[in-house]
Structure formats: C-alpha cells, structure tokens
Structure 1
Amino acid sequence: MGFSHILVAYDGGVPSIRALDTAIDFMQNNQAAQLTVVHVHSVAAIAIADSIVTVPASVQRDEFLQAQELLKEVDDKISFLLSARSVLLEGSPGESIVQYAAEQQCDLIVIGNRGLGAIREFVMGSVSHYVIQHTSVPLLLVK
C-alpha cells in the first residue's frame, strides 16, 4: 500500500473534481488506506479603508448551506469507499488545509490547480500555491 491517509482539498471546481477522481483511483487500486475530502468554508470580509466589514449573516448562512450541499455531493461520490469521509473546515483555505493535514498525519495532499498566470496568482492569491509553500506533507497537484 502506498499511502495511509490521503487528503483531498475540494471546492467543487473542475480541478478539484479531477483531484478527487485521482484520489479515488488511488483508493480503488489499493494505493491508499484512508481518504479524507476537505472543503474549507471561509467567512467573506470586505476591506474598506482601514476597516474590515463582514458580509451579512444571511449571506454567511447561505454560503455555509452551499458548502454543506457540496459535501453531500462528495459523500455520494465516495460512499462506495469503506474508509472515506468528508470534512467541512472553517477559516483560510490554505492555512486550514495545511493545518488539518498535519494534525491528521496525512501522508499525501491531492489538490487541484487552476493554472493561474503569475500576475493573476500574485493579485488573487492561490490556495495550491499557499499549500505548496507551507506544508511538509507530500503534495500531488492535479491540473
């Protein structure tokens, strides 16, 4: 067996769907013992001058419900695997993924990459870029 615990970062986008499919292939080919799919829900905030304003509670609730629905879809997709689960985390996506992988002693992180150009990545940031820079866990980047 290749890996004892694979963590997949999932946001519902095409690259994360490919990352999940790759991890499922590892599981089906007995190259992993356990699979955890994480989705990170973060409370959006808007910076105005020197203040930070959070979005209204109703919007936050709707986003949280959407995150739960996204994980229900994941649960349906991985239900046939005996040792697979999904987890909803809250916080900064990159930081949450790195911290969770370390705490759970994952030995592989599988994450999708949108392939942003250098300028767009600098301006917008990139979860995969953050994870690459801050994790000590081996990482498989799926495009």
Structure 2
Amino acid sequence: MLYSKILIAYDGSKTSDKAFDSALKLAKLNHFSKLEIINVINEPSYLAGTMYFTPLQASQDEYTRYSAEVTNKIKDMINDFSNTHIEIRLGNPAKTILDYAEETKADLIVIGSRGLNSFGEFVLGSVSHNVMQHAKIPVLVIK
C-alpha cells in the first residue's frame, strides 16, 4: 500500500532517526507522498487537587534554539525529498502527535519504539504505545 501523507514523530533519538529513514523510504516509493514531520517538546503538567499546573521549564529562547537545531537536523536528513512540512509543537507528545495526525489528515504515523527519555517511558508508558492504542490510522513502530 502506498501512503499519500506520512506523519513522522521525531524527537532526535536514534530510534526516531531510524523511523525517519523508514518513512522517507516509504514516501519515495510514491512520488506524490507528503511527509509531515512533527517534533513535540514535552510540556509536562501535574495534577494538584483539582487543578492542573505546568511548571516553568525553559525560556522562550531555549525553545527557539532547540526548535532551530531539530529543524536543521531534519533538513539535513531530508536532503533530496522536497514535499515536506516540519512542525514543532509544545505539549503532551502522544496527544499532540495524534491531534496533528487528525489535523493534517495523515494516513500513516511512523514513530520510534523508544524516545529520548526511556526511563520516563518505562515508568509512565511509552509515547509510541499510547499513539498505537489511540490512533485512528495505521501506526508503524520502528525498533
């Protein structure tokens, strides 16, 4: 099956590099495929009684610098494939990926099995697992 819009969840980890490579190969099979690439900056929130709060984590300058680094790395990896869009968002990674897949009408999500924070994934449940459980479209998980 050829996919016309492939969403890559990218966090800069080794497995997301592999997932990116796999998605790029799939997209190149169909010259009309579009790659939607999302990097989600995790913005944790905590429940305290009946209120949610988000701790101040980083300055806007740090987010801007990080976004530029990720965007440049992605552009280097794309090299000869031009039908792409890079999106950097702040939020809960799994929810943000799923919302973006729906927003862009993606027909496949490609994600690495483990991200940058494997300890957090072990304790809280992995982003890829949550995406697989709640996606309305096929999900390709790369090890």
Q: Tell me the TM-score normalised to structure 1 length.
A: 0.81
User: In structure 1, the residue corresponding to 2:95 is in which secondary structure?
Assistant: helix
Structure 1 gap segments, 5+ residues each: none
Question: Is the Cα–Cα contact under 8 Å of residues 8 and 35 in structure 1 kept in the other structure?
Answer: yes
Which position in structure 2 is the counterpart of 1:125? 125
Structure 2 residue runs without a partner (length 5+): none
Hey, what does 2:78 align to over in structure 1? 78
**How many correspondences in the alignment?**
138
Identical-residue share of aligned pairs (%)? 36
* 1:65 aligns to 2:61 (yes or no): no
Instruction: Kindly provide the amino acid, as one letter, of the partner of residue 105 in structure 1.
Output: K
What secondary structure, in the 3-state scheme, does the structure 1 residue paired with 2:86 have? strand
How far 1:24 sits from its partner (Å)?
0.9
- Is the alpha carbon distance of 1:53 and 1:90 closer, same or farther for their aligned partners in structure 2, counting shifts above 3 Å? closer
In the aligned structure 2, how far is the partner of 1:7 from the partner of 1:114? 17
Report the CA distance between 1:88 and its aligned residue: 0.8
TM-aligned CA deviation for residue 56 of structure 1: 5.0
Alpha-carbon separation, structure 2, partners of 1:120 and 1:97: 18
> Counterpart in 2 of 1:35?
35
Q: What letter is aligned with 2:91?
A: G
Q: CA RMSD in A?
A: 2.7
1:97 corresponds in structure 2 to 97
Q: Secondary structure of the equivalent of 1:54?
A: coil
Say if 1:6 and 1:32, in contact at 8 Å, map to a contact too. no
